[in-house]
């Protein structure tokens, strides 16, 4: 049997789904009470890990909740409830806390491992739509995630209930994040591959060019040879250094363009005559993000990297920072 697609009905149904799920999440606000506080206290006091478990759609939601906990300062992992009965329950230690998800509170695979959880003496937090269920009665703390209806037109497929469960899990994770004083730097350390991690963990020394890649000339170098050095190294600038590699100034593409607007003997010019003496620079241990700020505020595209004695140790430009994912 086939049905034609009615555009207006599709839009109306989709909006109804969002309204139902939004109402389910909104209803949780009144349930953030002493039981929520007790759950947070139990999780905060956990000396081991938070073990999130569930089956079916609740299991998928549980996997995401565990990942959110782990990335926000609360060590956690997901334990498949069915696999728990076949050996994986050995992952649980007495230092852990269990976060069990079941809308009905009667999921057979969860009920089967309740005696083992009780023998271990670990804390059990239940997220369930039926607080008086078997799971609810066995739990140390019960958080009610019941919904008035599922968004499914048959009122059967887990939709609003899984959305509510996920929202409650996020509420727990973020409340704990704040309680632990979790910072941007902490977040970056657990997300080294993400853009925030790169901005907060990557230092200038991690992206700068060194050795033979460094453009450098002396004050007596002719302008012609200085330009050749710039071209060879491809940074859009060259440093001007003394015999000990102390940076005396820089010369950039922009400096060259400004020179061409004025009468100047290009053949006779030496780098000491044309360099910019009060040039900006950065240190190797500065965050790469700080180098981006220096470039943006100074409207420049390349920077020398100096040590504390003013000796040239590296150089970088905007392309290096783009490749590193900092810009």
The DSSP annotation for 23-80 comes to: HHHHGGGGG-SHHHHHHHHHHHT-SS-EEEEE-HHHHHHHHHHHHHHHHTT--EEEEE
Q: Which fold has domain 204-323?
A: CBS-domain (3.10.580)
pLDDT at 182 over 80: no
Q: Coil, helix or strand for 141?
A: strand
Query: Which one, of 112, 169, 170, 159, lies nearest residue 138 by Cα?
Result: 112
150-154, 163-167, 258-262, 267-271: which is most confident = 163-167
Q: Is the pLDDT of residue 191 over 60?
A: no
Query: Looking at the whole model, is its pTM more than 0.75?
Result: no
Whether residue 192 is predicted with pLDDT greater than 70 in this model: the reply is: no
Give ranges for CATH 3.40.50.10490 in the chain: 7-182
Write out pLDDT tens, residues 201-234: 788 999 999 999 999 999 999 999 999 999 999 9
Q: Is 293 left (phi over 0), alpha (psi -120 to 50) or beta?
A: alpha
Q: What is the pLDDT of residue 36?
A: 97
Please choose, from the candidates 5, 79, 92, 86, the residue with its C-alpha nearest in 3D space to the C-alpha of residue 48.
92
User: Pick from 114, 116, 108: which is nearest to 137 by CA?
Assistant: 114
- Average pLDDT score over the chain: 90
Helices (H) and strands (E) in the chain, counts: 15, 10
CA distance 211 to 313: 8
Which carries the bigger pLDDT value, residue 2 or residue 201? 201
For 7-182, CATH number?
3.40.50.10490
- As annotated, the residues of the chain forming the CATH 3.10.580.10 domain(s) are 204-323
- 308-321 residue pLDDT tens: 999 999 999 999 88
For residue range 258-306, what is the model confidence (pLDDT) as tens digits? 887 777 777 788 999 899 988 899 999 988 888 888 999 888 999 999 9
- Determine the pLDDT at residue 259: 80
DSSP-derived secondary structure for 115-128: HHHHHHT-EEEEEE
């Amino acid at each position: 049997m086939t049905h034609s697609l009615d555009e207006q009905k599709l839009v109306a149904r989709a909006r109804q789904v969002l309204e139902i799920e939004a109402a389910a999440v909104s209803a949780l606000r009144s349930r953030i009470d002493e039981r929520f506080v007790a759950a947070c206290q139990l999780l905060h006091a956990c000396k081991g890990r938070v073990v999130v478990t569930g089956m079916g759609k609740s299991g998928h939601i549980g996997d995401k909740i565990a990942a959110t906990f782990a990335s926000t300062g609360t060590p956690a992992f997901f334990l498949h409830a069915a696999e728990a009965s076949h050996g994986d329950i050995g992952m649980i230690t007495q230092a852990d806390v269990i976060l069990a998800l079941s809308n009905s509170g009667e999921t057979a695979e969860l009920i089967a491992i309740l005696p083992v959880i009780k023998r271990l003496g670990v804390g059990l937090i239940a997220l369930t739509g039926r607080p008086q269920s078997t799971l609810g009665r066995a739990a140390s703390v019960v958080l009610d995630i019941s919904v008035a209806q599922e968004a499914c037109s048959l009122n059967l497929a887990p939709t609003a209930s899984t959305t509510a469960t996920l929202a409650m899990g996020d509420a727990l994770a973020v409340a704990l994040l704040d309680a632990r004083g979790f910072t941007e730097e902490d977040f970056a350390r657990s997300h080294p591959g993400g853009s925030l991690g790169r901005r907060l963990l990557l230092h200038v020394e991690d992206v700068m060019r060194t050795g033979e890649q460094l453009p450098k000339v002396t004050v007596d170098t002719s302008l012609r040879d200085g330009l050749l050095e710039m071209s060879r190294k491809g940074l859009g600038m060259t440093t001007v250094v003394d015999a000990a590699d102390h940076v005396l100034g820089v010369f950039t593409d922009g400096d060259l363009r400004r020179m061409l607007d004025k009468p100047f003997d290009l053949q006779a010019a030496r780098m000491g005559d044309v360099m910019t003496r009060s040039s900006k620079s950065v240190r190797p241990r500065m965050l790469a993000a700080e180098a981006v700020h220096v470039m943006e505020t100074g409207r420049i595209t390349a920077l020398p990297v100096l040590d504390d004695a003013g000796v040239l140790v590296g150089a970088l430009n905007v392309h290096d920072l783009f490749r590193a994912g900092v810009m």
